[in-house]
Chains A and B, each alone.
Chain A
């Protein structure tokens, strides 16, 4: 029997191309790592759905088990976990994030 919270998370990540689970909102990020993740996505021009885990404790705890990743923010592209803020930064600096998002048809090439 799948974990109901994991099912909820799976619904969210599979119904939007890009999902960022973060602390706070893109307008009012509540943590440095989350605001860095938002800045990266905005700079690349990638539209994304954000989920404020501070408003949903169930998701806040469930997401860590779902992706086997201990921290927030977490980025998902086409349902696949991509990484946290550090990996987003590394991929962004290497141009890999923009390339991946354009390959996935999320942003124009």
Chain B
């Protein structure tokens, strides 16, 4: 059962409380999203570490029920 955008956002915010999350539905099929996650707590972390934090917040759904999530991370300007 694919995931809803707000479910993805809620999970990320639960795992990374200071994150702002922008989700774009790429295909309208509930299975292809792009997420842009910005968080002060990412400052000083490598891109891989930032993305791992998001994947950890998604609790193992990445690559499973959540097949295609295009992810970009950033620190606030």
Please list the residues of chain A having a beta carbon within 8 angstroms of any beta carbon in chain B: 32-33, 64, 68-72, 81-84, 86-87, 90-91
Chain B residues with Cβ below 8 Å from A84 are: 51
B42 to chain A, nearest CB (A): 13
Complex interface: chain B residues within 8 A of A91 (CB):
47
Which of the four size classes fits the interface of chain B? 10 to 19
Distance from A49 Cβ to chain B, minimum over Cβ atoms (Å)? 21
Taken together as a complex, chains A and B put the C-alpha atoms of A93 and B70 apart, in Å, by 15
Q: Identify which of A70, A81, A83 contacts B60 (C-beta below 8 A).
A: A70
Task: Determine the residue in chain B with the shortest Cβ distance to A67.
Answer: B48
Q: How many Å lie between the Cα of A83 and that of B47 in the bound state?
A: 8
* B55 pairs with A70, CB closer than 8 A: yes
Q: Which residues of A contact B4 (CB under 8 A)?
A: none
Tell me whether B52 and A90 are in contact (CB under 8 A). Answer: no
Pairs across A and B, CB under 8 Å, 25 listed: A32-B68, A33-B68, A33-B70, A64-B63, A68-B52, A69-B48, A69-B55, A70-B55, A70-B60, A70-B62, A71-B62, A72-B63, A81-B48, A83-B47, A83-B48, A83-B51, A84-B51, A86-B51, A86-B71, A87-B47, A87-B48, A87-B51, A90-B47, A90-B72, A91-B47
Of residues 1 through 60 on chain B, the ones whose CB sits less than 8 Å from some CB of chain A are 47-48, 51-52, 55, 60
